[in-house]
Chains A and B, each alone.
Chain A
Amino acid sequence: MTVMQHVWIVLGVLFVLLNIGAGLIWVERRMLALWQDRLGPNRAGPLGILIVLADTLKLFFKEDWVPPFADKWVFIIAPAIVVASVLMSFVVIPFAPGIVVADLNVGLLFFLAMSSIGVYSIVLGGWASNNKYALLGALRGASQMIAYEVFMGLSLMGVVMMTGSFKLTDIVEAQRDMWFFIKQPIGLVIFFIAGIAETHRLPFDIPEAESELIAGYHAEYSGMKFGMFFIGEYLGITLISAMTATIFFGGWLGPEFLPGWVWFFTKTFAFILFFILLRASLPRPRYDQLMEYGWKILLPLVLANVMITGAVLLWLKG
C-alpha cells in the first residue's frame, strides 16, 4: 500500500466514525421514543434528523467554562483522553478485507489497553472538577471500569485460544466455517456485559447515575468539552458493537451478494440498536450490587469458560 492509500483509509475511518458518533444522538433519541411510546425529536428536518446539527451547533456556541475551583489543565485534558483512546481502538478494527488502519499482530491487546486508558478520562475529569458529585462518579467509574476490564479481557481469551492469534484479521478469517458466538456463547455474553460497563451505558451508567449524582464525572463540563465526553460515549458504543461483530459474528464475512463492509456495518448497527434497546428497557442497579454481580458471578463464569475452552482444545488435539 502506498502512503496516500494509508492516509485515505485513516481519513475515511475518521470521517465515518465521527459522523456515526453524531448520528447516533438522533438514532438513540428516535429509537428510545419509539420503544417508550413517545414521539422524540421530530421538528427539525425530515424525521427530526437536523437535531444533530442543532445539537452540535449548540455545543460549539456554549460558553466554554472552566470552574475557578478546578484543576485547569487536567480539566481540559480529560475529555480529550476519552475520544482519543476510543478512536485509537478503531485503528485495529478490520472494516473489510484490506480496509484496516493498522493490522497489528497484538490487535486485541491493543484494544484492551486503549479501553483501559479510557478510565483516566473519567478519573481525571471527576477529580479535576473538584465537585462532590463528580468525584463520587469518578471513583465509582474507576472501580467499575477496572473491575469489568478484567472480565472483558478474560472473556476474549477463549477466542484467542481457538484462533491462536491476537490479530483481528486472523480472528475474522478463523470464522469462515462457523462464527465464534456458537462456540463461545458465554464469552459473547460476558464480553457484551463488560462492554456495557466499559462504556458506562444504562443499565450500568453508575458513574453518571442521573438521579443520584446528576451527571457524575462530567457534572462541571459544558460546551464542547462536554461534547467530547458525549461523542466519546457514542464512539464507545460503536467500538464495543464493532468488536462484538468482529470477534463473535464474523466481521465482514457474510453471503457474497453484498460487499464485506456492508455486512460489517449491518452487524455493528444491530448491536448499537441492542445497546439502545437495553437503555430503553432496563433499570440501573445499585453500585454495590453491580460490583457484587461482577466479582461473584461473572468472574467465576469467565474463568470456567477459559478453563473449559482450553481443556476441550487440548482434548481435540489429542
Chain B
Amino acid sequence: MAKQYEIPIGAQHISLLEPLHFKFTTENEKIINTDANIFYVHRGIEQACCSKFKFRQVSFVVGRVCGLCSISHTTAYSQVAEKLLKIEIPKRAKYLRMLVIELDRIHSHLLCLSHVAENSGFEALFMKTMQYREFAMELLEAVCGNRIQYDFSIVGGVSRDLKPQTGQNILDRLKKFMPQLDELLDIFRNNWTLSLKNKGAGAITKEDAMRLNVIGPFARAAGLPVDVRNEAEDLLPWKEVGYEMITETTGDVYARNMIRLREMYISKRIIENIIEGLPESGLITETKAFPDGEAVVRLEAPRGELFYYAKGNKTQVLERLKIKAPTFSNIPAMVEAFKGNEYGTAPAIIASYDPCLSCTAR
C-alpha cells in the first residue's frame, strides 16, 4: 500500500478567494479523503441584526454579509421583513429587484468562471473573463450607485428608480457583451487543454447530489432541476420575465462551467424583458407597522438557494434572524466530490464550487 500523505489547502492559500480549509488525504497524489473547515470568518452579523440595529436598518447590514451576492441578501431580508409587516410591494420594485439580481448573477458567474480558469492554470482566460466582467460592475454602479454591496432593496421596495437612459445603456452594453459571451462559451466548451483539467474532474452523480442535498448551479450541473426561481412565484414573478431552467448531466467542473455560461444567456433575456416591460408604479410601500410573527423566504442567489428566517415581536428590533447560505448546504457534497481526483485538479474543483465563505460563516 502506498504511503498516505496529508496536504492542506487553506485557510490561506493562493488559489482561494476566502478563508476555507480543506485537508486532503492523498495516496500517490490521488485524493482519498477530505476534511473541511469553513467557519473562519464569523462576524456575528445575525446577533447584531437582532440587537444593535432596527429592522429597517438590517437590510443595509445584511448587504455586508457578502460582497458578491449582497443584492440577494438585501432582497431576501426585505422580503422576509415585508412578510412580517404584511405588505405587498409595488410591481415596479419587484421588477427592479429582479433586474439587479440578474445583473449580479452575471458578474458573480463570470467571477467564478475566471477563477476556475485561473486555478486550472489558464492565466490568459482568467484575464479575459475578468475583463469581460467589468461591464456588469459598471452597469451595477449605474443602477445602484455601488460596484459591490449595493443597498438597492430596502424594506418596502427599492431605494432608486431606473432612469430610461440607464435602461437603454444596459440594453446596449448587453448587446455588446453577447459576442464576448459566445467567445467564452466557445473556449470553455471546446478548448482541449482546458478540458484536460475540467472534464470528469470533481464529478458527482445525480443520485449523490439528491442524497447530499445539493443546490444551485452545483445541483443543476448534476442534472437536478433545483432552482427557486422555478418555484416561488409569489414574491418575484420570474416566469413572467422569461426564466427557464437549465441543467447538464455530467456533474463535473465542465458541466458547472456550462451551467454558469448558459445561465448568463437566460439572465440577459430576463434583463431585456424587464427593461422593455417595466411597469409604471411607485417604488416603495410605506407602512408604520412593526414586524410581527415568523416568516421564511427562499431566493435564488447566484450560488443557489438563500434562505432567510425572521421572527418579530412588535418592536423595532427583530427577535431572531437566521441566514442559511447556499454554500452551507453544499459542503457535504463538496467533500464527497473530491474523492478519486488528482490533487492537481483540486484547486479547479474548489473554484468550480464557487464557495462563498463570508455568506456561510456570516
Contact = CB atoms under 8 A, between A and B. Distances in A.
A104 to B, nearest CB: 38
B344 A283 contact: no
Contacts of B125: 283
Contacts of A55: none
Contact of A37 (B14, B118, B123, B131): B131
B127 to A, nearest CB: 4
Contacts of B123: 36, 202, 279-280, 283
Measured as residues with beta carbon below 8 angstroms from the partner, the interface class of chain A is 20 to 34
B223 interface: no
Contacts of A212: 15, 343-344, 346-347
B14 A214 contact: yes
Contacts of B346: 212
* Interface range, B side: 20 to 34
A39 to B, nearest CB: 12
A288 B343 CA distance: 10
B126 to A, nearest CB: 9
Contacts, number: 77
B128 interface: yes
A2 interface: no
B268 interface: no
A209 B343 CA distance: 12
Contact of B193 (A38, A203, A214): A203
B128 A36 contact: yes
Interface centre among A136, A203, A283, A285 (most CB of B within 10 A): A283
Nearest to A214: B14
Contacts of B348: 211
B289 interface: no
A283 B348 CA distance: 12
Contacts of A209: 121, 344
A286 B14 contact: no
Contacts of A210: 14-15, 121
Contacts of B124: 35-36, 280-283
Contact of A286 (B13, B119, B196): B196
A284 B121 contact: yes
A287 B193 contact: no
Nearest to B16: A211
A126 to B, nearest CB: 14
A286 B193 contact: no
A37 B124 CA distance: 9
Contacts of B347: 211-212
B120 interface: yes
Given A37-B131, A286-B344, A211 B193 contact: no
Contacts of B119: 211
Contacts of B196: 285-286, 289
Contacts of B118: 211
A37 B342 contact: no
Contacts of A203: 121, 193
Given A282-B124, A286-B342, 14 more contacts: A36-B127, A36-B128, A133-B7, A136-B29, A202-B121, A203-B121, A210-B14, A211-B347, A212-B344, A283-B125, A286-B196, A287-B29, A287-B344, A288-B344
Interface of A: 35-38, 132-133, 136, 202-203, 206, 209-212, 214, 279-289
**9 smallest beta-carbon distances between A and B, as pairs:** A284-B121, A283-B122, A211-B15, A36-B127, A211-B347, A286-B344, A211-B119, A283-B121, A283-B193
27 contacts: A36-B127, A36-B128, A37-B131, A203-B193, A206-B344, A209-B344, A210-B121, A211-B14, A211-B347, A214-B13, A214-B14, A281-B124, A282-B124, A282-B193, A283-B117, A283-B120, A283-B124, A283-B197, A284-B122, A285-B196, A286-B342, A286-B345, A287-B29, A287-B342, A287-B344, A288-B342, A288-B344
